[in-house]
Chain A
């Protein structure tokens, strides 16, 4: 469903990403790994429209999307999370989830001012949806808490839920396990697998936690210094000599 061909991203004289290609199938968890500074997040930023790639093609469901503005890509069904959690901290948890459903709501000003039935209906539906996802991530009790007061692990989960209420087809997770303890990482592991199994979402994952990556990935692409190093199933990648040398260490 997503295909990246020869992606290149140049910042001045620095070629941060050069010739990266990958393809993501329906209902697949595809991980991107590589040492720090390898260009993983840059690939994400190109995919989600934050950067305009200097070269290459990104094709999502048959349409070229490279260079499109971020909000349009998000509306097509490709939503991302961030390496550093980006919640609306002064808004409550439910409101975070309602903002994400903005385009599913009736945003006509007059309809909202007079509260037409259609407006109420959509408002109710999105509240239900928010409640459903809060229950799914075990945070229904925190629904009316300010997002800034949540624990770090909860903020991470809320960010994923906030993506899911937009009804995406492809979810991009940027180091979702960073800073989580082993128990929380395990929960996250199950959540991501269930997103694939139960909600038919494809996941592109950037992660440093090798246990998590090897556990849940269907396929892995390894990037080193902006260039593709290897790609394949976890077993293939684990056995690849270049990868071991560049990243995994001799262990």
Chain B
């Protein structure tokens, strides 16, 4: 037992050295026209040695260390508490949420343009994560290509505005509907697949859409993207300094206030906020409706669900379509916020981040997913100095979460329908 521990620890330490020395310890430098391989200074080598030593010690005493780490949760004073009763909890939750919404409505008027812009991005991710939560959390279908529907929403707006001069408000439902249609179409071939296979095929779909956008140059502009996407208007009032379209008036002139670039940013934020709230409310409702129960039933036991007359096709496609629909919403807002989109915004990493938000927040849990969306979007902005290590920190956070809270930040508490017996 002890010897195998030592051997394992030694092996891990050697792997550490083998991986880190060539990356950190060797430098390629240009001397004239030649490239010379040089070793680095002593500090780096000492650092690598220290890292190897730490890995060795950790692996040697791994069991006791992990045991202690596992015991940490016992220090949490809330562990032993009983969960609140459902009625009470629902009431408390709705009060807290109403408070948060009120704060969120008035907050942007007192904060900086950059912060509001970031908050809009957060809200876009909230909508995306809530939508993906339907597919992954409720229906249990692992979708790795979710970003495709986001792209469909964004490109619908961009293309329609470029070729047909359509406005934001027309594009919003169109983008969502078209994304939903794509969800329906892409859902058909994957109906029979489950688990890993489904993940791989959806991953492929995500990439197909991106590559199509990248290569269909005469329509989508390819990697150059599409620019000049119009801003949303408020009842025909534009937010620019000068009115672009005839017949429109500008916001600052109508109200007789000085022009400020912030108006537009705040307006977009408010649109995103309202849409995020609508998304959350609709999905919350769906969870209590027959279709929500059918999603969960199919996730829990497909054979039993089918034997009770649930059609697998209808249930899975509805989850795919509704999830994609909300991604289309988010895509339209994103296109309008950026004013310029290119396929680069819709790479696989985006799908992975949205999925990570859902997993971190707790699959199926709305509040958890919203909190995780805020955390995952804002933290990298706050820690800009560490941006090189962003993915490293992200990965470490995921590993620690899986050790301590595999069920997510705020685990899903099902909204039970209770049967009230006559008193």
Nearest 5 interchain pairs by C-beta: A86-B304, A112-B289, A74-B309, A143-B419, A88-B300
- A48 near B307: Cβ-Cβ < 8 Å: yes
Total A residues in contact with B, Cβ cutoff 8 Å: 40
- Contacting residues, chain B, for A94 (C-beta < 8 A): 416-419
Indicate if B383 sits at the interface (CB-CB under 8 A): no
Known: A48-B307, A86-B304. A143 touches B421 (CB 8 A): yes
- The answer to whether the Cβ of B8 comes within 8 Å of any Cβ in the partner chain is no
Q: Is residue A231 contacting chain B, with contact meaning CB distance below 8 A?
A: no
Select A88's contact among B304, B416, B418, beta carbons within 8 Å.
B304
A74:B308 contact, CB within 8 angstroms: yes
User: Do A102 and B304 contact each other (CB < 8 Å), given the known contacts A90-B414, A113-B282?
Assistant: no
A193 / chain B contacts, CB cutoff of 8 Å: none
User: When A86-B301, A88-B296, A91-B296 are in contact, do A80 and B307 touch as well, CB less than 8 Å?
Assistant: yes
Most buried by B among A87, A94, A102, A109: A102
CB neighbours of B286 from chain A (8 A): 109, 112-113
Interface mask (A138-149 → B, CB under 8 Å = 1, otherwise 0): 001001100000
Query: What's the nearest-Cβ distance from chain A to residue B278, in Å?
Result: 11
A99 at the binding interface (Cβ < 8 Å): yes
A107 to B309, Cβ gap below 8 A? no
Pick the most buried of A69, A82, A100, A143: most chain B CB atoms within 10 A of its CB.
A100
**Complex contacts, B300 vs chain A, CB 8 Å:** 88-91
A residues in contact with B158, CB < 8 Å: none
Q: Does A162 contact B (CB under 8 A)?
A: yes
> A41 CB to closest chain B CB, in angstroms?
13
The 7 sampled A-B contact pairs (Cβ below 8 Å) are: A74-B307, A74-B308, A99-B294, A99-B297, A113-B286, A131-B421, A166-B309
For the complex, is A75 an interface residue (Cβ under 8 Å from B)? yes
Q: Report A-chain residues with C-beta under 8 Å of the C-beta of B305.
A: 88, 99
**A71 to B310, Cβ gap below 8 A?**
yes
Tell whether B81 is near chain A: CB-to-CB under 8 Å: no
Confirm or deny: B311 has a beta carbon within 8 angstroms of a beta carbon on chain A. yes
Q: Which residue of B lies closest to A81 (CB)?
A: B307
**Residue A95 is within 8 A (CB to CB) of chain B in the complex:** yes
**Residues of B close to A162: CB separation below 8 A:** 308
CB within 8 Å for A112 and B419 given contacts A50-B303, A74-B309, A86-B304: no
Contact assessment for B419 and A99 in the assembled complex, using a CB-CB cutoff below 8 Å: no
13 new A-B contacts at CB < 8 Å, known A91-B300, A92-B416: A71-B311, A75-B309, A80-B307, A88-B296, A91-B293, A94-B418, A94-B419, A102-B290, A106-B290, A107-B290, A109-B289, A143-B419, A143-B421
B308 touches A95 (CB 8 A): no
Verify A105–B301 contact, CB threshold 8 A. no
The CB with the most chain B CB atoms within 10 A, among A82, A86, A92, A106, is that of: A86
* B419 cross-chain contacts in A, Cβ below 8 A: 94, 127, 130-131, 134, 143-144
Q: Looking at the complex, which one of A95, A98, A102 makes contact with B309 (CB distance below 8 Å)?
A: A102
CB distance from B274 to the nearest CB of A (A): 17
Query: Does A70 belong to the interface (CB within 8 Å)?
Result: yes
Is B384 in the interface zone, CB < 8 Å from A? Answer: no
Asked whether, in the complex, the Cβ of A105 is within 8 Å of the Cβ of B312, the reply is no
Q: Which residues of A contact B (CB under 8 A)?
A: 48, 50, 69-71, 74-75, 79-80, 82, 86-92, 94-95, 98-100, 102-103, 105-107, 109, 112-113, 127, 130-131, 134, 140, 143-144, 162-163, 166
Please tell me if B15 contacts chain A, counting CB pairs below 8 Å. Answer: no
Q: Is B82 an interface residue when CB atoms closer than 8 A count as contact?
A: no
Say which residue of B285, B289, B306 sits within 8 Å of A70 (CB atoms): B306
A residues less than 8 Å from B311 (CB atoms): 71
Are the C-beta atoms of A99 and B285 separated by less than 8 Å?
no
Contact residues in B for A69 (Cβ distance below 8 Å)? 306
In the bound complex, residues from chain B placing their C-beta under 8 Å from that of A88 are 296-297, 300-301, 304-305
A100–B308 CB distance below 8 A:
yes
Nearest A residue to B304, CB-CB: A86
Q: Which of B293, B306, B310 contacts A95 (CB 8 A)?
A: B293
B residues within 8 A CB of A75? 309
**Interface-centre pick from A82, A105, A109, A127 (highest chain B CB count, 10 A):** A109
Query: How far is A130 from B420 in the complex, measured between Cα atoms in Å?
Result: 11
Interface centre among A69, A79, A112 (most CB of B within 10 A): A112
For residue B292, which residue of chain A has the nearest CB? Answer: A112
Minimum CB–CB distance from B413 to chain A (whole Å) comes to 11
User: Closest approach, in angstroms, between the C-beta of B310 and any C-beta of chain A?
Assistant: 6
CA distance A92 to B414 in the complex (A): 9
Residues from chain B with Cβ under 8 Å of A89 in the complex = 300
- Bound complex: CA of A112 vs CA of B322, how far in Å? 14
A91-B300, A131-B419 in contact; A98/B307 too (CB < 8 A)? no
Cα distance A15–B291 in the bound complex, in angstroms = 40
- A91–B416 Cα gap in the complex (Å)? 8
Query: Contact at A113–B285, with CB atoms within 8 Å?
Result: yes
- What's the Cα separation between A103 and B308 when bound, in Å? 9
Q: What's the nearest-Cβ distance from chain B to residue A232, in Å?
A: 30
Is B421 within 8 A of A99, CB to CB?
Answer: no
Decide if A102 touches B307 in the complex (CB within 8 Å). no
The listed residue with most B CB atoms (<10 A of its CB), out of A99, A106, A109, A140, is: A99
**CB-based contact B416/A102 at 8 Å:** no
B262-284 to A contact mask, C-beta < 8 Å, 1/0: 00000000000000000000100
How far is A19 from B416 in the complex, measured between Cα atoms in Å? 47
In the bound assembly, the distance between CA atoms of A143 and B312 in angstroms comes to 27
Task: Find B308's partner among A102, A106, A131 (CB 8 Å cutoff).
Answer: A102
The complex places the Cα of A80 from the Cα of B304 at a distance, in Å, of 9
Q: How far is the CB of B316 from chain A (nearest CB, A)?
A: 13
